[in-house]
Amino acid sequence: MSLIVQKFGGTSVADPEKIRAAARRAIRAQKQGHRVVMVVSAMGKQTDELLRLASAVSDKPPAREMDMLLSTGEQTSVALVAMAIDDLGAKAVSLTGGQFGMKTDNSYSKARIRSIDTGRIEKHLDEGHIVVAAGFQGIDDDLNITTLGRGGSDTTAVALAAVLGADACEINTDVDGVYTTDPRLLPEARRVDVISYDEMLELASLGAGVMHSRSIEFAKKFGVPIHVRSSFSDRDGTMIVAQPESESSPVSGAALTKDEARITVLGVPDVPGISQTVFSAIAEKKVAVDMVVQNIGVEGKADVSFTVPGDELELTLSALDSIMEKIGATGLTHDADVSKVSVVGLGMASQKSVAARMFRALGDAGVNIHMITTSEIKISALVPRDQAATALRAVHEAFELHERPADAKTWAAIQADSSREADVDDVVARLQNDALEALTLTGISIVEGQARVTLDGVPDQVGVAADMFEEIGRAGIFVDMIIQGYDGVDGSTSVSFTIHDNDLDAGLKVAKSICEAHSMRDVRGAAGITKLSVSGIGLRSHTQVGTVLFEQLADAKINVEMIATSELQVNVVIDSKRGDDAKKCLQAAFADALG
Ligand SMILES: Nc1ncnc2c1ncn2[C@@H]1O[C@H](COP(=O)(O)OP(=O)(O)O)[C@@H](O)[C@H]1O
Ligand SMILES: N[C@@H](CC(=O)OP(=O)(O)O)C(=O)O
């Protein structure tokens, strides 16, 4: 008999009528012959309400008590859903995380799942019950209640689907699928039939609130297909699976993180380990750093720019205050009115000039780009916050995201094409692991034969990035990593990009002509650099990957020239002479996670 996990988010159980509708949907699935496990979130905005209550009582609520409090939201909703099912004439049992065997570590408010004991759920299913499981919560070894972090019910649902070997994991929500961008922000967004795990993982971590990024890490690791659909209609929604919808589209989605803040630490001594001190100080405050750009040093000094969530700017500045003198930095600037617009697509890894197309769209819309970071399947640009909506619309239009790609496939077509021979033994082995959410690395690799070109004194003006990368594209040069950050002189920026070693002369020639045309300060190039990549699943949420990587390289006195991070890879550019040393020391440091 098939088993289905149905998750209902807060918006889908916001009032008694919606609770009864969710109950009816589960009963219908049971009547169709499925064993049904529901995963339910707190009603409506209940979690926010509980957070407000806590802050009204205490300025610094203890983390343990906070989780005790927040978990009550889900305890209320599972009981109400089970009552509604009972009232509609079917059998149901509600279970808290602790009751259904959700074991986590003890990091309150962001606990990671260790194991799930399925015995009790299976017993209730065997008795003909619909099991109504509380999302977002678990217990640690000492039976303390923990929560998984905001939006964590998606992770509960996908984890349960994995350990129960469910045939389907439905995410029932207030939108009828995954769109090319948040349809609340852009009505012309298109609902996609299929999206790949990797694309959804990036989009979720870049602001697409429809799914919690950790749930996608889980789905990818255990091969759980997810069906995102509307709680209020029977129409099929979007399948999140291994394959993308289209093989040819460079970009499949766009996302906006509205409230970002940019910080630049100026005049940092360009020696191994200094950025590490900066980021450790911030990590101690539990602030997640994004869009890290370290300019290529001039006269032994570099500028380090990065973004943090807007509401964590003050905390970050206070963390930096304490280390400025120690690291010998000369100053600090920040901008609290910026937003990050990003495009994501598996196809961009193999196509030329995708970045130039994005920059041109922003330039034509009159949007100035302050910072740029790229990785294999995403490009992010930091823009003024008052232009965020214009920026999102411009990139959405430039990549024709409102139109279905000609080669777009439905889930049925993808299934028919692939043999779907899942490696069952492999999945079972991974599920027996006692740390379901543990870090999973898939490899550490180096790409040699790379070169870097850096332009200094790039004016912080509309259209400059587009002009630059279009010209480089016209010269037939394939650009891999691109970073742009502040260079500390007159508010101008510095842009670095990596290309193939063979293209260095041509790249420098184009860069010089761009430099002259735009009155930039300088062009520099370096041959003999290596890209070192650590690949895995969910590397941004496992923040220790970045920390360990930088610590190891600093200890080995290897200087990091460029950094690019994504959910799938942490990439650094280093001197080729140290490539093998770097690979070896990281292989040793990550031996456990590499399995
Ligand atoms: N790319 C996207 N596709 C669909 N919805 C998105 C996307 N990005 C953001 N969203 C937003 O996510 C919302 C659903 O998430 P959420 O409100 O957390 O639902 P739930 O309460 O069911 O967990 C949608 O209403 C939509 O505005
Ligand atoms: N109630 C929790 C967990 C959750 O996942 O909620 P939702 O499914 O409504 O996003 C929260 O608000 O964070």
Please, how many CA atoms are within 13 Å of residue 550, restricted to the half-sphere of its CB?
A: 24
Least confident of 413-417, 521-525, 572-576: 413-417
pLDDT in the model for residue 539: 85
Q: Are 457 and 512 in the same domain?
A: yes
* pLDDT tens digits, 138-158: 999 999 999 999 999 999 999
Helix (H) or strand (E) holding 356: helix 354-364
Is the per-residue pLDDT at 422 higher than 70? no
Is 285 a member of any domain? yes
> What are the E-state strand segments in 270-409?
290-294, 301-309, 331-344, 371-375, 378-384
Residue 97 Cβ inside 6 Å of ligand 2? The answer reads no
Separation of alpha carbons 493 and 461, rounded Å: 10
Separation of alpha carbons 349 and 264, rounded Å: 29
Instruction: Please name which ligand lies nearest the alpha carbon of 172.
Output: 1
Residue 155 Cβ inside 6 Å of ligand 2? The answer reads no
* pLDDT tens digits, 463-499: 999 999 999 999 999 999 999 988 777 778 889 999 9
Q: How far apart are the first and last CA of the chain?
A: 34
Q: Are 15 and 54 in the same domain?
A: yes
Q: Are 235 and 321 in the same domain?
A: no
Secondary structure string (H, E, C) spanning 270-309:
CCCCHHHHHHHHHHHCCCCCEEEEECCCECCEEEEEEEEE
Is the per-residue pLDDT at 521 higher than 70? yes
Structural domain range at position 316: 255-402+441-594
Is the per-residue pLDDT at 420 higher than 60? no
- Token pair of 6 as six digits: 């149905």
Separation of alpha carbons 163 and 578, rounded Å: 43
Is the per-residue pLDDT at 271 higher than 80? no
Question: Is the separation of the CB atoms in 97 and 134 below 8 Å?
Answer: yes
Is the per-residue pLDDT at 429 higher than 80? no
Residue 48 Cβ inside 6 Å of ligand 1? The answer reads no
Instruction: Please name which ligand lies nearest the alpha carbon of 137.
Output: 2
* Residue partners of 150: CB distance under 8 A and separation at least 6: 47
* Residue partners of 344: CB distance under 8 A and separation at least 6: 199, 202, 203, 206, 251, 252, 253, 254, 255, 377, 378
Residue 174 Cβ inside 6 Å of ligand 1? The answer reads yes
Question: Is the separation of the CB atoms in 580 and 587 below 8 Å?
Answer: no
Hey, CA dihedral for 139, 144, 147, 153, is it positive or negative? Answer: positive
Separation of alpha carbons 352 and 373, rounded Å: 16
Where residue 184 falls among pLDDT bands split at 50, 70, 90?
Answer: very high
Domain C-terminal end among 197, 218, 246: 246
pLDDT in the model for residue 236: 95
* pLDDT tens digits, 308-347: 999 999 999 999 998 998 888 988 999 999 999 999 999 9
Q: How far is the CA of 74 from the centre of ligand 2 (A)?
A: 9
Is 34 a member of any domain? yes
> How crowded is residue 410: how many other Cβ atoms within 10 Å of its Cβ?
13
Nearest atom, ligand 1, residue 154 CA: 23
Q: Are 123 and 261 in the same domain?
A: no
Residue 73 Cβ inside 6 Å of ligand 2? The answer reads yes
Is the per-residue pLDDT at 430 higher than 90? no
Helix (H) or strand (E) holding 238: strand 238-241
* pLDDT tens digits, 41-87: 999 999 999 999 999 999 999 999 999 999 999 999 999 999 999 99
Q: How far is the CA of 152 from the centre of ligand 2 (A)?
A: 6
**Strand duo 522-537 + 137-139: pairing:** unpaired
Residue 42 Cβ inside 6 Å of ligand 2? The answer reads yes
Q: Are 463 and 589 in the same domain?
A: yes
Is 421 a member of any domain? no
pTM higher than the cut 0.90: yes
Is the per-residue pLDDT at 564 higher than 90? no
Is 433 a member of any domain? no
Is the per-residue pLDDT at 421 higher than 60? no
Residue 98 Cβ inside 6 Å of ligand 2? The answer reads no
Separation of alpha carbons 531 and 521, rounded Å: 27
Nearest atom, ligand 1, residue 181 CA: 1
Could you please report the per-residue DSSP string of 12-47?
GGSSHHHHHHHHHHHHHHHHTT-EEEEEEPPSTTHH
Where residue 276 falls among pLDDT bands split at 50, 70, 90?
Answer: confident
Is 427 a member of any domain? no
Is the per-residue pLDDT at 434 higher than 80? no
- Token pair of 583 as six digits: 């690979």
pLDDT in the model for residue 28: 97
Could you please report the per-residue DSSP string of 134-155?
ETTEEE-TT--EEE--TTTHHH
Where residue 423 falls among pLDDT bands split at 50, 70, 90?
Answer: low
Nearest atom, ligand 1, residue 12 CA: 22
Q: Are 275 and 313 in the same domain?
A: yes
Nearest CA to ligand 2 atom 8: 9
Q: Are 150 and 69 in the same domain?
A: yes
Domain of residue 85, CATH code: 3.40.1160.10
Distance (Å) of CA 147 to CA 111, 144, 475: 6, 10, 53
Could you please report the per-residue DSSP string of 82-130?
HHHHHHTT--EEEE-TTTTTEEE-S-TTS--EEEE--HHHHHHHHTTPE
Q: How far is the CA of 11 from the centre of ligand 1 (A)?
A: 10
pLDDT in the model for residue 385: 97
Where residue 16 falls among pLDDT bands split at 50, 70, 90?
Answer: very high
Separation of alpha carbons 114 and 86, rounded Å: 32
pLDDT in the model for residue 1: 82
Average pLDDT, the chain: 92
Q: How far is the CA of 175 from the centre of ligand 1 (A)?
A: 6
Residue 150 Cβ inside 6 Å of ligand 2? The answer reads yes
Q: Are 576 and 503 in the same domain?
A: yes
Is 569 a member of any domain? yes
Q: Among candidates 291, 283, 281, 285, which has minimal Cα distance to 261?
A: 291
Q: How far is the CA of 13 from the centre of ligand 2 (A)?
A: 11
pLDDT in the model for residue 157: 98
Is 458 a member of any domain? yes
Domain of residue 347, CATH code: 3.30.2130.10
* pLDDT tens digits, 108-124: 998 999 999 999 999 99
Residue 9 Cβ inside 6 Å of ligand 2? The answer reads yes
Question: Is the separation of the CB atoms in 124 and 131 below 8 Å?
Answer: yes
Is the per-residue pLDDT at 433 higher than 70? no
Q: Are 327 and 185 in the same domain?
A: no
The ipTM value here is: 0.97
Domain C-terminal end among 246, 263, 292: 246
Question: Is the separation of the CB atoms in 585 and 532 below 8 Å?
Answer: no
Q: How far is the CA of 136 from the centre of ligand 2 (A)?
A: 7
Separation of alpha carbons 560 and 554, rounded Å: 9
**Number of domains the chain is built from:** 2
* pLDDT tens digits, 185-216: 999 999 999 999 999 999 999 989 899 999 99
* pLDDT tens digits, 540-563: 777 778 888 888 998 899 988 888
Domain C-terminal end among 199, 216, 246: 246
Mutation pick for ligand 2 pocket among 136, 147, 160, 214 (CB with most ligand atoms within 8 Å): 136
> How crowded is residue 109: how many other Cβ atoms within 10 Å of its Cβ?
16
Q: Are 151 and 224 in the same domain?
A: yes
Instruction: Please name which ligand lies nearest the alpha carbon of 42.
Output: 2
The whole-number average pLDDT for the span 445-454 is 94
Q: Are 167 and 75 in the same domain?
A: yes
Q: Are 203 and 323 in the same domain?
A: no
Is 81 a member of any domain? yes
Residue 45 Cβ inside 6 Å of ligand 2? The answer reads no
Instruction: Please name which ligand lies nearest the alpha carbon of 69.
Output: 2
